[in-house]
Amino acid sequence: MRVLITEKIAEKGIEVLKKEGLDVDVEVGIDRGELLKVINNYDAIIVRSVTKINEEFYQHATNLKVVGRAGNGVDNIDMDGATNRGIIVVNTPEANTVSAAEHTIGLLIASTRNVAQANAKIKNREWDRSNFKGVELQGKTVGVVGLGRIGGLVTTRLQAFGMKVIAYDPYITDERFRKYGVEKKERLQDLIKESDFITVHTPKTEETFGMIGEEEFKVAKKGVRVVNCARGGIIEEEALAKAVKEGIVASAGLDVLVNEPNTTSLLLDLDNVIITPHLGADTVEAQNNVGVTIAQEVFSALKGKMVPNA
Ligand code: NAD
Ligand code: MLT
């Protein structure tokens, strides 16, 4: 059985596959044309968020049995296309959640306290103590959009800072809001109106893409601070840029952009917006967890065994 890996995963994961006797090729960043040319030689592929597994891909992947998503979001994978062809898709939804939650907190504090901007100044040999005033978290209200795995972890961490957490998530039970001691908002607009900080933790779907846009910024508190460590475009990028320029949004911390990789986004020109290149899951622990888990799942799926995250 042959497995192709097109994005970087932990060495430990590759070792698991090899130990199980699979033939593994690692082609990080393989050119799309080349990928489509060779994919019919493989039984499984392991990707992260960049490789697009779409109709065009499936048409070339005539021997493919398993798609392994080394991570959580499956928005780069056409799930119906896989189902129609009997291809199993597996992912690792639990393996990087703590890292993503911690990165969210990092972005929230760094953007609120101008850590990156002040660092850039001092590295430029400028000792500037007058242009970087932030605000405290304690006593402020944070709106969590999507109270799932990462939204839940972020909630408990922000509560430790003395913040009041309100949340919008129409797909979970009231019991989950109670469990986290969070005030439930029935409408997104109500959350937006009341929040000093907003952090989004939904998957990217037709419903969530652009869910925070121009209309939402119109009702937001002046000086609201936003964080997106989920998927690019959940907070609409042009609307965000406009809201930052108008002073409605005081700061933004982003780990994700609509198009990735990306070095040309209009958001890169804004001083109050800090951006990391999709690093939410980039810790030693998360990558080892993800790499080993996806390797075990891909092997099990190829062998026809039960797979927890299929
Ligand atoms: P999850 O499935 O556990 O939680 C998502 C929550 O969003 C669910 O509770 C769901 O009910 C809710 N939701 C869905 N549609 C909604 C809507 N329209 N309005 C409000 N809530 C809605 O997912 P998770 O594991 O917490 O992951 C959250 C996001 O973080 C995903 O987009 C995932 O891809 C992303 N992620 C990013 C990184 C990174 O490196 N930046 C790492 C891991 C995960
Ligand atoms: C995920 O969905 O798991 C994250 O985007 C991180 C990743 O793909 O590495």
Residue-wise pLDDT for 70-123, tens only, equals: 999 999 999 999 999 999 999 999 999 999 999 999 999 999 999 999 999 999
Total-model pTM:
0.97
Averaged pLDDT of the chain: 98
Q: What is the mean pLDDT of residues 166-191?
A: 98
Q: What is the mean pLDDT of residues 6-12?
A: 97
Ligand 2, pocket-test mutation among 72, 256, 276, most atoms within 8 A of CB: 72
| CB-based contacts of 154, cutoff 8 Å, min separation 6 | 101, 104, 105, 144, 199, 201
Confidence of residue 214 (pLDDT cuts 50, 70, 90): very high
Pocket flag, ligand 1, residue 230 (CB < 6 Å): yes
Dist. CA 267 → ligand 2 center (Å):
21
| Residue 306 confidence (pLDDT) | 85
Q: Which residues pair with 199 in a beta bridge?
A: 144, 227
| Residue 258 confidence (pLDDT) | 97
Pocket flag, ligand 1, residue 97 (CB < 6 Å): yes
Cα(181)–Cα(159) distance, rounded to whole angstroms? 9
Confidence of residue 309 (pLDDT cuts 50, 70, 90): confident
Which ligand is closest to the CA of 232, given by its number?
Answer: 1
| Residue owning tokens 């100044």 | 121
Burial of 221 (0-12, 13-18, 19+ CB in 10 A): middle
| Residue 242 confidence (pLDDT) | 98
| CB-based contacts of 100, cutoff 8 Å, min separation 6 | 72, 150, 229, 280, 281, 286
Give me the helices (H) in 86-197, please.
97-112, 115-123, 149-159, 174-179, 188-194
CA 282 to ligand 2: nearest atom: 9
From the list 72, 60, 85, the residue with the least C-alpha distance to 4 is: 60
Pocket flag, ligand 1, residue 180 (CB < 6 Å): no
Pocket flag, ligand 1, residue 96 (CB < 6 Å): yes
CA 234 to ligand 1: nearest atom: 32
Ligand 1, pocket-test mutation among 49, 96, 147, 150, most atoms within 8 A of CB: 150
| Residue 310 confidence (pLDDT) | 85
231, 236, 237, 297: the catalytic one is 231
CA 207 to ligand 1: nearest atom: 18
275, 278, 282, 286: CA torsion to nearest 10: 130
pLDDT of residue 30 exceeding 90: yes
Pocket flag, ligand 2, residue 73 (CB < 6 Å): yes
Residue 260 known to be catalytic: yes
The 10 Å Cβ neighbour count of residue 100 is: 24
Q: Which residues pair with 143 in a beta bridge?
A: 166, 198
Residue 231 known to be catalytic: yes
